[in-house]
Chains A and B, each alone.
Chain A
Amino acid sequence: MRLILLWVCLLLPSLLLCQKHTISGYVSDSENGELLIGANIYEKNLLKGTTANLYGFYSLTLEQDSIELIFSYTGYQAIKKVFYLDANIEIDVELTSINELGEVEIVASESSSIQDRTQMSSIELNMSKVKSLPVLMGERDVLKTVQLLPGVQSGSEGTSGIYVRGGGPDQNLILLDGVPVYNVSHLFGFFSVFNPDAIRNVELIKGGFPARYGGRLSSVLDIRMKEGNMNKITGEGSVGLVASKLTLEGPIKKGKTSFLVSGRRTYLDLLIRPFVRAQSDGEATGGYYFYDFNAKINHRLDDKNRIYASGYFGKDRAFTRFDDGLLGGGEEKEVAELEWGNIIGALRWNRELSPQLFSNTTFTYSRYKFRTGIEFEYNNGDDEEHFLFEYSSGIEDIALKIDLDHLPNPDHYLKYGASATYHTFTPGVNYYEFSGTDIQPVDTTWGSSIVNSFEFYAFAEDDWKVNELLKINAGIHASSFHVDGSSYFSVQPRLSARYLLNELWAVKASYSSMAQYLHLLTNTSIGLPTDLWVPATEEIKPLTSHQVAAGFATTLKEGYELSVEGYYKVMNNLIEYKDGASFLADARDWQSKVEAGKGWSYGAEILLEKTMGKFSGWIGYTLSWTERQFDNLNFGEKFPYRYDRRHDVGVAMTYKHSERMDFGLVWVYGTGNAVSIPSSTYVTSGSLPPFNEYFAYDVDYISDRNGYRMPSYHRLDFSVNLHKKMNRHQRTWSWGVYNMYNRQNPFYLYFSSDDDGDPGLFQVSLFPIIPYFSYQFKF
């Protein structure tokens, strides 16, 4: 007994010394209460740290000791907390923006350097950059800023589609508050659906995907809406050439419940409508508009529970209407409409299950619908006729998911979770109705039938600090898809590693296997709303890919970051329309119009970024090759993908001259798109045996699919933003020029004749030099 007591007395001090406690809490903005995603929390002496998750929550378990904890975030004044840790403790921290402190320069945070991060092929977008860079018509656009990053290519001129590392537009998982957005385009792709005033954070991942993400092959674009100001009512808005927008946010109950509403609408139709009416003697009207509406409510139930409800509603509509009063009485009416839009909703519950365990449960709804129709009515009292044709397509998702963040100690950051999604696909349904006096009524529906499917996934990952030099993010993502009696299963390992060569240099490598159960059927490059989302079926297998990447990252000197990456990606079961196929051609099932094949993409990306100082921005360069191979396309030979772009350069710079003035500059260069155009023509027999007649039929000779290169694309944009603090608000006048040196960039090519009748190849360009201005205000 004495011996035991002696042992206890000897061991007790060391047991107490080894005792661990957890510091947890939230990091937020002192001014508006917005939670700061990715804020750094760092113990200065132990060299241990963590980052705040997507909901601003952090947890750090340390041994009982005197603690010197630093909270930092890019663009914010760091805070140090010194205390003795002898029990679990909750510390909620509010950081103050350097702008609020009256500083001009952007200051980088201490421990967020590029070489420290395990995640490679990932870029977080600074929203202030999005707002200060020049853009087409002055409409700030998150996706157009993303297009300037290496590894990301734009589609056609002016459009907001993104093509990441050789993948198609359907291979991007674009999430708004964790909900997939299926169509991100307004105005046939010239603007994206994301209103930057309502957005807080944007992260793009191009490779080395953490296991928590899945369902797409090429990228994840995780866009988070603002939570709503917890402290006071604020607002911002703008009036531009194309659209105006207004955002309001504030507390419903101070410090407990906040709201955010944001709306945007174009007004071209309102301006044009009187002219159309006047030109048609009041008989016709028509126009085009789009609108967005974002809303969010954030409610803190107690210290450990928060709920959020967020929604997005957006619609594009083009229409014409013709009313004609007939001679002798009666009337005739003709209406044509084209409309599409998304509805997105998320109900989220965050719960701190323990100081080390955080849960996020989300119920989501996402719907994209496209509809076009023509309606004709005729009535003269004696006779009447009614004709209606409609075509609709779309996709609808209902999903439930739960994610858990578990931080047992500073060396491990575990994440696990599961999700179930019920998809409803409407891949092109036609409706026809015809009735009238002395007419047998017709009322029929045809086309592809509605398909329901169920998708499930589960994942587990660990961000593991093996030692001071080596950090690994390893995980596994398992998914299944069930459609029309067919089931697919996939287990996808993921691995990213970072090895510090010294304080400033790190080498990184990653491998990711991905599976995608949805395909986008598209045969145009401009993101038409007619593009169809279709499921994997018994005949059309799910897309899969394997990607490896390796590179290095360094901080060259304070505020200058450089990353160089090489990647190689193989994609299986890609689909393309068959030769000659078109969504207009006939009403057969979509599966009969497509071919399945393989794709390869490989290349290197360089990103040099200046993150601090008056002058900030980046230069990105991509050298890449992207190929496709299908048994029945290009006679089975490999061919370049439409957006195979050997060289792609994006330069985005801002210069903050003073609190009142900043400048933005963008320069882009890209190798021309690969297109298929005929090089010669010849006559062949248009009649096949057993018909005996020979008649000459001239056909085009296309030597290789996508074998011709359009001229290269380049453009320079410039903007000046003039800010002024007024009595009750702050206003900004933005002036800018898109395509400053009036480069005639190719949109499409066609053969025609010049004024003398000589045939030639002609290039159509969309946007010449375009000046713009907009007025923004904030209160």
Chain B
Amino acid sequence: MKNFFYISILVIAFSACEKQIPFDDPGTETRLVLNSYITPGESVKVNLSESRHVLSDDNYEFVGNADIGLYEGNDLVETLVEGENGWYYGSHLPSLSNSYSLTCAAAGYDQISADTRIPTPGIIDDIEVELDVETADGQMHRLTFDVVDPGGQNWYHLFLMDPNQNYGQSFQSSTQFLETGETDDWYYDGALFTDDLFNSGRGQIVVQFYSESWNEEEEIDIHLVSASEEYYQYSRTLHAFSISQYDPFAQPVQMFSNVNGGHGAFTGYSVERVNVDLSE
């Protein structure tokens, strides 16, 4: 009897630590996921898949046999053609400053739609190059340039890129209005920013990057992505999600989506690209 008492106490004590509880949340139903980025001069392509319950460990499924319509303004310009692995292709070439919509219907899913516009690109101006500058973090190349805003509310994503390899170069900047920086103002996935703090439609940006890690061709491309608001919001939350997903103390991130009735992003952008010579 005595032993039974002690065992009961121990069982109760250690059973209280962890247990499975029922999970029912209205957000768990399967929805269509649409991803598409459109830019002038490139035909539209869309990836379509489905979301899965957070407790599911099934593979993600692409969605076929869907009707995807592309609208320019209010006019249907084409219906996209299905390819492989959830890809749908169009032939229409979007143009600057226009608004575009996608509607998508697939059997077994709620119909979804999304809107975006392609913004007029900002201009890169007054580029100044300083080579092998001694900084607190070692020797670096420094670029100073202006972004000239086309007017209205605008959003940007700045990258430095290898002209041939098509990969990004991390850079350092203390320019106040740049976002998505990490330790000691280093930018690894480009820098998002808005024109909120521009003076007279111009914003000056200073970036620096390690010279010794750079390519033999001694040149670099400045890619200034002029983004739709949807691109900016989506990129901002994607960046926050990617840097925090393994930090147990990080705040949760709600991914931005402009897809009504579904998930994902349909975003427009345009690019201003300037090649900079870094030779002596």
- A interface vs B, CB < 8 Å? 446, 523-524, 576-588, 592, 634-635, 676-686, 688-692, 694, 696-705, 707-708, 711, 742, 744, 746, 749, 751, 754, 759-765, 767-770
> Is B33 positioned at the interface, with any CB of A under 8 Å from its CB?
yes
Give which listed residue, A579, A584, A692, A742, contacts B252 with CB less than 8 A.
A579
Compute how far the CA of A524 lies from the CA of B225 in the bound complex, rounded to whole angstroms: 36
* Beta-carbon contact of A579 and B253 below 8 Å: yes
13 residue pairs of the A-B complex, CB under 8 angstroms, read: A579-B251, A580-B253, A584-B250, A585-B182, A586-B182, A588-B185, A679-B28, A680-B54, A683-B49, A689-B225, A744-B19, A763-B19, A763-B21
* Beta-carbon contact of B247 and A585 below 8 Å: yes
Using CB atoms, name the residue of chain A closest to B15.
Answer: A768
* Beta-carbon contact of A751 and B54 below 8 Å: yes
Binary flags per residue of B213-255, CB closer than 8 Å to A gives 1, else 0: 0000000000101000001000101111111100101111111
Q: Which residues of A contact B271 (CB under 8 A)?
A: 689-690
* Beta-carbon contact of A703 and B26 below 8 Å: yes
- B interface vs A, CB < 8 Å? 12-23, 25-31, 33, 35, 37, 39, 47, 49-57, 60, 157, 159, 161, 166, 168, 181-185, 189-190, 223, 225, 231, 235, 237-244, 247, 249-256, 263-265, 269, 271, 273
* Beta-carbon contact of B263 and A703 below 8 Å: no
* Beta-carbon contact of B16 and A765 below 8 Å: yes
* Beta-carbon contact of B19 and A699 below 8 Å: no
Q: Which residues of B contact A754 (CB under 8 A)?
A: 20
Compute how far the CA of A582 lies from the CA of B245 in the bound complex, rounded to whole angstroms: 11
* Beta-carbon contact of A685 and B55 below 8 Å: no
Q: Which residues of A contact B190 (CB under 8 A)?
A: 688
Using CB atoms, name the residue of chain A closest to B241.
Answer: A699
* Beta-carbon contact of A583 and B249 below 8 Å: yes
**Closest approach, in angstroms, between the C-beta of B139 and any C-beta of chain A?**
16
* Beta-carbon contact of A691 and B166 below 8 Å: yes
Using CB atoms, name the residue of chain A closest to B53.
Answer: A680
**Closest approach, in angstroms, between the C-beta of B8 and any C-beta of chain A?**
10
* Beta-carbon contact of B12 and A768 below 8 Å: yes
A682-B60 CB under 8 A given contacts A579-B252, A588-B185, A635-B254: yes
Compute how far the CA of A746 lies from the CA of B50 in the bound complex, rounded to whole angstroms: 32
- What does DSSP make chain B's interface, helix, strand, loop or mixed? mixed
Using CB atoms, name the residue of chain B closest to A576.
Answer: B251
Q: Which residues of B contact A677 (CB under 8 A)?
A: 25, 54, 252
Compute how far the CA of A744 lies from the CA of B181 in the bound complex, rounded to whole angstroms: 42
* Beta-carbon contact of B12 and A580 below 8 Å: no
Q: Which residues of B contact A703 (CB under 8 A)?
A: 25-27
A742-B17 CB under 8 A given contacts A582-B251, A635-B254, A684-B35: no
Q: Which residues of A contact B161 (CB under 8 A)?
A: 690
* Beta-carbon contact of B18 and A765 below 8 Å: yes
**Closest approach, in angstroms, between the C-beta of A562 and any C-beta of chain B?**
37
* Beta-carbon contact of B251 and A523 below 8 Å: yes
**Closest approach, in angstroms, between the C-beta of B243 and any C-beta of chain A?**
6
Q: Which residues of B contact A751 (CB under 8 A)?
A: 54-55
Compute how far the CA of A676 lies from the CA of B252 in the bound complex, rounded to whole angstroms: 7
**Closest approach, in angstroms, between the C-beta of A691 and any C-beta of chain B?**
7
Compute how far the CA of A108 lies from the CA of B276 in the bound complex, rounded to whole angstroms: 85
A588-B25 CB under 8 A given contacts A699-B238, A744-B16: no
Q: Which residues of B contact A768 (CB under 8 A)?
A: 12-17
Compute how far the CA of A749 lies from the CA of B20 in the bound complex, rounded to whole angstroms: 9
Interface centre among A680, A697, A705, A761 (most CB of B within 10 A): A680
Interface centre among B183, B237, B252, B269 (most CB of A within 10 A): B252
Compute how far the CA of A342 lies from the CA of B14 in the bound complex, rounded to whole angstroms: 35
Q: Which residues of A contact B239 (CB under 8 A)?
A: 580
Q: Which residues of B contact A523 (CB under 8 A)?
A: 249-251
Give which listed residue, A692, A698, A701, contacts B60 with CB less than 8 A.
A698
**Closest approach, in angstroms, between the C-beta of A233 and any C-beta of chain B?**
42
Q: Which residues of B contact A635 (CB under 8 A)?
A: 254, 256
Compute how far the CA of A704 lies from the CA of B265 in the bound complex, rounded to whole angstroms: 18
**Closest approach, in angstroms, between the C-beta of B226 and any C-beta of chain A?**
11
Q: Which residues of B contact A759 (CB under 8 A)?
A: 55-57
Compute how far the CA of A768 lies from the CA of B20 in the bound complex, rounded to whole angstroms: 16
The 9 A-B residue pairs whose C-beta atoms are closest, nearest first, are A768-B16, A580-B240, A679-B27, A580-B244, A703-B27, A682-B51, A761-B23, A582-B250, A676-B252
Compute how far the CA of A679 lies from the CA of B225 in the bound complex, rounded to whole angstroms: 33
Q: Which residues of B contact A578 (CB under 8 A)?
A: 240, 251
Interface centre among B26, B239, B242, B249 (most CB of A within 10 A): B249
**Closest approach, in angstroms, between the C-beta of B22 and any C-beta of chain A?**
8
Compute how far the CA of A218 lies from the CA of B265 in the bound complex, rounded to whole angstroms: 41
* Beta-carbon contact of B240 and A579 below 8 Å: yes
**Closest approach, in angstroms, between the C-beta of B164 and any C-beta of chain A?**
14
**Closest approach, in angstroms, between the C-beta of B124 and any C-beta of chain A?**
14
Using CB atoms, name the residue of chain B closest to A685.
Answer: B35
Give which listed residue, A688, A698, A769, contacts B235 with CB less than 8 A.
A688
Using CB atoms, name the residue of chain B closest to A592.
Answer: B181
Give which listed residue, A583, A587, A592, A701, contacts B27 with CB less than 8 A.
A701
* Beta-carbon contact of A684 and B51 below 8 Å: no
Compute how far the CA of A524 lies from the CA of B247 in the bound complex, rounded to whole angstroms: 12
Compute how far the CA of A634 lies from the CA of B190 in the bound complex, rounded to whole angstroms: 24
Further 17 A-B residue pairs, CB within 8 A, beyond A690-B273, A702-B255: A579-B240, A579-B244, A582-B244, A582-B250, A586-B183, A586-B184, A588-B182, A682-B263, A684-B264, A700-B253, A701-B27, A702-B27, A761-B20, A763-B19, A764-B17, A768-B12, A769-B13
* Beta-carbon contact of B225 and A761 below 8 Å: no
Compute how far the CA of A682 lies from the CA of B244 in the bound complex, rounded to whole angstroms: 17
Give which listed residue, A588, A679, A689, A742, contacts B16 with CB less than 8 A.
A742
**Closest approach, in angstroms, between the C-beta of B19 and any C-beta of chain A?**
6
Q: Which residues of A contact B19 (CB under 8 A)?
A: 744, 762-763, 765
* Beta-carbon contact of A684 and B33 below 8 Å: yes
A686-B21 CB under 8 A given contacts A581-B250, A635-B256: no
